[in-house]
Amino acid sequence: MELRHIRYFLAVADAKSFTYAAEALGIGQPPLSLQIRDLENEIGTRLFHRVARGVELTAAGSAFYEETRQLPGLVENAKRAALLASRGEKGVLKIGFTSSSVFNTVVTRSIKQFKSQFADVTLQLEEVHTAELINMIQNGSIDLAFVRTDHLDNEQAEMHLLMREPLSIVLPDNHPLIQKNKITLAQLVNEELIVCPRDYSAQLYDTIISLFDNSGYTPQIKQMAPQLSSIISLVGAGLGISIIPASMKVMSHTASGVVFCDFDNEGAYVPLTLISRSHERSPAAKNFINNAIETLENYPFFY
């Protein structure tokens, strides 16, 4: 039994006539009658009674009709879904991000623009630290990830560097340095730092340590917290200062007791990178990558 047998059967049932059904299908009546006969032979019973003005369904035909009348529509829907998926316009896309990367509007704009263009793609988002996101890309748990790194030791992952984001200084609102337009590293030498553990953000941690080491200073790390939002709260509590991505300034409207200041240091930046599996085959993932790059080109300043 083939799909054409179903289509021919439904056409005859709806038209109640072999003649009218043949005209609607664009085939001759004898071939149509032969196809219906083959279908009846395969099922093992007659599906139509001949009556004066055409045909009517037998009891078996009525039962068969109820079970098959939606099949052509389902097949067309399946064909359309397959075509959309092949173009990356349908399916599921799993995207990871770090706690700091989501504050950069290149991430939120990319997601928003992608959803507006590809409404039938379901996005599943997950917040994890960079090292775990790279592992999840490798094992296929996610398709893409926004991370804070500009190098990968993993051959199964591919890196798309989006931007190098400047770092900013966050201070308690009663700190004397808030009077400065820009703060230099030398002015932070004796300050107690609150930083993210290296296991959670190796790039940010290593960048901060390198900034001090390259200048001949030793950072005074007092406290660690895994989330940058927690670090900002601890700064507001007067436990120290911190060096964070500039996009975190968006929290100045909600964080209490802190002031964000510019950092006067050429090497003070962290990357924002979109990573994917090497030789990515998912059309939806490729669309998202292209969309993120296009978003950055249209909106080059995100902090």
Asked if 270 and 204 count as a contact pair (C-beta separation under 8 A), the reply is yes
Annotated domain spans of the chain: 3-87, 91-163+270-298, 165-269
Assign 16 to helix, strand or coil: coil
What superfamily in CATH does domain 165-269 come from? Periplasmic binding protein-like II (3.40.190.10)
Asked if pLDDT for residue 109 goes beyond 80, the answer is: yes
What CATH code is assigned to 3-87? Answer: 1.10.10.10
**Within this chain, domains 3-87 and 165-269 share the same CATH topology:** no
Bridge-partner residues for 271, per DSSP?
A: 164
- In this prediction, residue 239 carries a pLDDT of 95
56-83 residue pLDDT tens:
999 999 999 999 999 999 999 898 888 8
Assign 193 to helix, strand or coil: strand
- In this prediction, residue 204 carries a pLDDT of 92
Sign of the Cα pseudo-torsion (202, 205, 208, 211, in order):
negative
Question: What is the average pLDDT score of the chain?
Answer: 91
Mean of pLDDT values over 254-265: 90
Mean of pLDDT values over 151-173: 88
Asked if pLDDT for residue 235 goes beyond 90, the answer is: yes
Contacts of 106 (CB under 8 A, 6+ apart): 162, 163, 272, 292, 295, 296, 299, 302
> Whole-angstrom Cα distance, residue 31 to residue 39?
12
Q: Which fold has domain 91-163+270-298?
A: D-Maltodextrin-Binding Protein; domain 2 (3.40.190)
